[in-house]
Amino acid sequence: MDTLTLKIIFMVGFVAAWAIRTPYQKQHQQTKHLVPQERILFMLIYVGMVVSPLIYVFSPLLSFADYRSPVWAGYVGGIVFAIALWLLWRSHDDLGKNWSPTVEIKEGHTLVSNGVYQQIRHPMYTAFWLWSAAQALILPNWIAGLGGILSFGMTYFLRIQQEEQMMIEQFGAEYKAYMQRTKRLIPYLF
Ligand code: SAH
């Protein structure tokens, strides 16, 4: 697949992801003061998943890190991105007002265990993993391609335990029972 087609596939997915997320981001009122670690991780994600892919798509600045990818990578990447978008939309919709970009309990927070939360506890993070994988498959560039997996991956591993611990403290036995019957990221598997 030629580079222009790959860039177009990526940009369609990228714009769609932002279109899905923006209304929820607007609704959310940030009341929590971000700690330095959270600020740094947000910045890393911004560089890895927004700035570096856009530099790659719209300028030749990162061309020194280009490589050739097999044709199937573009097709598979497109399919993975489509699944990520569906899951991103469903998880934002199911989580509703409980959503926040950081790990926090909001006023009137309820435990969501229906919809895509019925099988897995972190469908939004699954969506971000898929988005990052799609970025790596679609963009044949070591920096712009791997920026998502590296920056989101680091954020995921640093916050997942903290988030589940917070949910246990808030919802107690109800969350523990929910943990018993669900997996973290992939239904029935993991
Ligand atoms: N980890 C979830 C949610 C990401 S948004 C996912 O990947 O789908 C982060 C916020 O969602 C956290 O601050 C937490 O308060 C909230 N949250 C996580 N799981 C939740 C659940 N099952 N029900 C309600 N809120 C949840």
| pLDDT at 31 exceeding the cut of 80 | no
Q: What is the pLDDT of residues 37-76, one digit of tens each?
A: 999 999 999 999 999 999 999 999 999 999 999 999 999 9
CA-based torsion, 177, 178, 181, 185: positive or negative: negative
101 CA distance to ligand 1 middle (Å) = 9
Q: Which residue's entry shows tokens 């860039």?
A: 7
Q: Write the class of the CATH domain 3-17+34-181.
A: mainly alpha
Nearest Cα residue to 127 out of 152, 160, 100, 97: 152
93 CA distance to ligand 1 middle (Å) = 12
110 CA distance to ligand 1 middle (Å) = 10
HEC assignment per residue over 64-117: HHECCCCHHHHHHHHHHHHHHHHHHHHHHHHHHHHCCCCCCCCCCCCCCCCHHH
47 CA distance to ligand 1 middle (Å) = 23
| pLDDT at 29 exceeding the cut of 90 | no
Dist. CA 141–CA 153, nearest whole Å: 18
| Poorest-pLDDT segment among 22-31, 102-111, 173-182 | 22-31
Q: Atom of ligand 1 at shortest distance to CA of 98?
A: 25
Q: What is the pLDDT of residues 131-141, one digit of tens each?
A: 999 999 999 99
CA-based torsion, 173, 175, 178, 179: positive or negative: negative
Pocket lined around ligand 1, Cβ cut-off 6 Å: 91, 95, 98-100, 103-105, 111-112, 117, 122-125, 163, 167
pLDDT band at 171; cut points 50, 70, 90? very high
pTM of the model: 0.96
> Which residues are paired to 141 by β-bridges?
66
Dist. CA 123–CA 103, nearest whole Å: 15
Dist. CA 83–CA 130, nearest whole Å: 8
pLDDT, residue 33, reads 81
Q: Atom of ligand 1 at shortest distance to CA of 120?
A: 8
